Amino acid sequence: MTQSPRPEARAPRGFMDRRARDLAAEREILTKVSAVYEQFGFEAFDTGAFEYADALGKFLPDADRPNEGVFALQDDDEQWMALRYDLTAPLARFVAQSWETLPKPFRRYAFGTVWRNEKPGPGRYREFTQCDADTVGSARPEADAEIIALAVAGLEASGLPRDAFVLKINNRKLLNGLLATAGVADEGQKLAVLRAVDKLDRLGPDGVRLLLGEGRKDESGAFTKGAGLSVAGAEAVLAFTAAGVGGRAQTLDRLSNVIGGSAEGDEGLAELVAIDVALTSLGVAQDQAQFDPSVVRGLEYYTGAVFEAELLLQTLDEKGQPVRFGSVGGGGRYDDLVARFTGERVPATGFSFGVSRLASALRAAGRGLGAETRGPVVVICFNPDDMPHYFSVVGELRAAGIPAEVYLGSSGMKAQMKYADRRLSPAAIMLGGDEIAAGQVTIKDLDLGRALSSGVTDNAAWRAERPGQQTIARTDLVSAVRAILEARP
């Protein structure tokens, strides 16, 4: 009889296995950020993991199997469904379905898993968690300002110090106005300009200058066709992107001299002025939110203000070398998304950040939340016949709100203590035959042992006053364990 080959134990590329530390970090971020969003008056909201493929905007099916960019399958009614690519397209679908019954504007926040059928790479996953906040139904620039202020407060609540990030703000209408003045009307050429500007951080002004003109050849010899602007047009775009120096008011003054007085450019400038006034009233400082004309969000559906959260923390890679983490979130105004369903324009603005990416960045900078996940109190198993006593102990601890477990492996005492230590358990409970007969328990303080073994020199009084191991009356178990938990330095 031929045996079936054994499968190789491997995770699909771009999908992560996460243990308690990582999950705790993300959960803590989401809990803190959600509290901030609700303070701003945003309603919690969620959608299903699947959407019909034709509802996902730029990923409309154009083949028998619409799996370009998304993970899709065919339902039993032969309609294509796809795992949601982001949290915005499902929101647009919901608003189109429910507009008549929604409070207007509709202010919602959401967090959840999204999936992207794209080539994975360092820091680029096919499955990750996003956290969004959006206002649908307000065209006022103050709605953009509220989203920016919300993003600043949320990122601070997540654990980022004030000087560790900055929200950079631009308006698509400014660059559109500049290009209109330069005689650029073709949408394909406009997109080529936007894509060139979006590479400014990576290629610098010289590289972008080539992409704005005839094109650029990279180190591999591959050639990227340029936007085809004239020399004067390319220099005007570069001057525009360099205007974001100093405070918000100074940047606005420089921009007013660069955009050439076009109607669309003047409209974008007026929106930024209103955003500045609102941010100042909300107490968002100049170093927290800056106008930066070089910010051009990659998605094509932004229609006005755009913003990007850039991480300023110094981080190190696996080899200890400094590395720039860059963007951890972004958003902007997208007034045309709901119109795909209804034919009517509905103004909307929002911000999204990658929770997994932010947690990784915090950890890389030595500021990780959930860096150490506490394990349960472990009851050592000396004799399987005494299991009723062991489970009586864990039941009492759990009833008191203290996580606890009985060791259910088959190893001896030494291995069980090693297990408890690896779980980062605060204490181990020992009930041998003598303790059970005498109505006692022995408690080993594992927190103290870890502190002593790590060479901690402070909190000397804390260490002197607590025994590493104590045998106490069984009735004093909960109070003794709680004292260990509360005394942790």
Work out the burial of residue 100: count CB atoms within 10 Å of its CB; fewer than 13 is exposed, 13-18 middle, 19 or more buried: exposed
pLDDT at 481: 95
Q: Which amino acid is at 259?
A: I
For residues 54, 55, 60 and 64, what is the CA-based torsion angle, rounded to 10 degrees? -30
| Residues 6+ positions from 203 with CB-CB distance below 8 Å | 211, 216
**Structure tokens belonging to residue 377:** 């109190």
Work out the burial of residue 137: count CB atoms within 10 Å of its CB; fewer than 13 is exposed, 13-18 middle, 19 or more buried: middle
Residue pair 233/184 in contact by the 8 Å Cβ criterion: yes
pLDDT at 453: 65
Cα-Cα-Cα-Cα dihedral sign, residues 157, 160, 164, 170? negative
Q: CA 479, CA 85: separation in Å to the nearest integer?
A: 50
Fold of the domain built from segment(s) 377-486: Rossmann fold (3.40.50)
Alpha carbon 88 to chain centroid, angstroms:
15
pLDDT at 322: 66
Phi–psi pair at 205, nearest 5 degrees: -60, -40
| Residues 6+ positions from 270 with CB-CB distance below 8 Å | 141
Q: CA 457, CA 130: separation in Å to the nearest integer?
A: 41
Alpha carbon 453 to chain centroid, angstroms:
36
Q: CA 209, CA 174: separation in Å to the nearest integer?
A: 19
**Claim: this prediction has a pTM higher than 0.85:** no
Residue pair 367/313 in contact by the 8 Å Cβ criterion: yes
Q: In what order do the strands lie in the sheet with 404-406?
A: 404-406, 377-379, 427-430, 440-445, 469-473
User: Which segments of the chain have a pLDDT < 50?
Assistant: 59-62, 461-463
Spell out the domain ranges in the chain: 20-364, 377-486
Q: CA 28, CA 19: separation in Å to the nearest integer?
A: 14
Q: For 20-364, which CATH class?
A: alpha beta
Query: What pairing do the DSSP bridges indicate for beta strands 427-430 and 440-445?
Result: antiparallel
**What is the largest distance, in Å, between two alpha-carbon atoms of the chain?**
94
Cα angle: 71, vertex 74, 80; to 5 degrees: 75
